[in-house]
């Protein structure tokens, strides 16, 4: 088993080690958090890794497909709102999937987050957290190794109120426990 999983070519110069390192936690935040998270896991699913998406409210199959996620290796899990059931569900999912993507409910405690991260490390999975504007408490609960904070600076494809979105420019700030110094990058993103 390799120590890491591949990431999309566009993210290789942005993510430390140019890959998703097994046992680590990546937090995607900001207005392009979901798109960036999907892009981060797409190459891993294409290479044969299984992805579990747990409790992610804004997840769209079409968007995942556009970002390159192999849908045939993706499982959507909708846990109950009960905190204990949520934690048990995530623990069970961690036993069977290489990559686990979560949107964390506010009720999750620091001790539950530590247990989940410990399980991810022991199983050598990759945990990808999606922080949307609705859920902004993740950094205080989880201890991400890598944080990818995104801000969209320009949309492409919409001209004078007509057309459709073809892409966007995203400023990505990279920080976290496994990042020696905070860095800034510009990402040309589709979707």
Three-state DSSP at 44 gives helix
State the residue range of the domain holding 60: 19-147
* Residue 6 in domain: no
* Residue 7 in domain: no
Q: Looking at residues 86-96, what average pLDDT do you find?
A: 91
Three-state DSSP at 177 gives coil
Q: Model confidence at 86, in pLDDT bands (50, 70, 90)?
A: confident
CATH number of residue 25's parent domain: 3.40.50.300
* Residue 180 in domain: no
- State the DSSP string of the chain: --SEEE--GGGTTTSGGGEEETT-EEEEEETTHHHHHHHHHHHHHHTT--EEEES-TT--HHHHHHTT--GGGEEEE---S-HHHHHHHHHHHHTT-SEEEE---TT--HHHHHHHHHHHHHHT-EEEEEE-TT---HHHHS--SEEEEEEEEEEEEEETTEEEEEEEEEEEEEESTT-SS-EEEEEEE--
pLDDT, tens digit, 9 for 90 and up, residues 23-71: 999 999 999 999 999 999 999 999 999 999 998 887 889 989 989 999 9
Name the domain count of the chain: 1
pLDDT, tens digit, 9 for 90 and up, residues 126-167: 999 998 776 555 556 889 999 999 999 988 877 777 777 778
* Residue 43 in domain: yes
Tokens 């405690």, located at residue: 109
* Residue 117 in domain: yes
* Residue 183 in domain: no
In whole numbers, what is the pLDDT of the chain averaged over residues?
89
* Residue 124 in domain: yes
* Residue 163 in domain: no
């Amino acid at each position: 088993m390799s120590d890491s999983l591949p990431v999309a070519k566009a993210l290789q110069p942005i993510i430390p080690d140019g890959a998703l390192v097994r046992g680590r936690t990546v937090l995607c935040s900001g207005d392009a958090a979901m798109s960036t998270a999907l892009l981060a896991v797409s190459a891993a699913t294409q290479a044969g890794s299984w992805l579990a998406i747990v409790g992610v409210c804004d997840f769209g199959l079409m968007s995942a497909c556009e970002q390159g996620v192999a849908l045939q290796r993706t499982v959507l899990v909708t846990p109950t709102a009960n905190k204990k059931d949520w934690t048990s569900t995530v623990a069970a999912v961690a036993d069977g999937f290489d990559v686990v993507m979560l949107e964390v409910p506010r009720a999750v405690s620091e001790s539950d987050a530590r247990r989940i991260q410990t399980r991810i490390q022991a199983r050598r999975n990759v945990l990808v957290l999606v922080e949307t504007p609705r859920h902004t408490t993740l950094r205080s609960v989880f201890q991400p190794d890598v944080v990818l904070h995104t801000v969209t600076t320009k949309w492409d494809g919409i001209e004078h109120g007509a057309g459709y979105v073809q892409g966007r420019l995203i400023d990505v700030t990279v920080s976290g426990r496994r990042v020696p110094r905070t860095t800034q990058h510009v990402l040309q993103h589709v979707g």
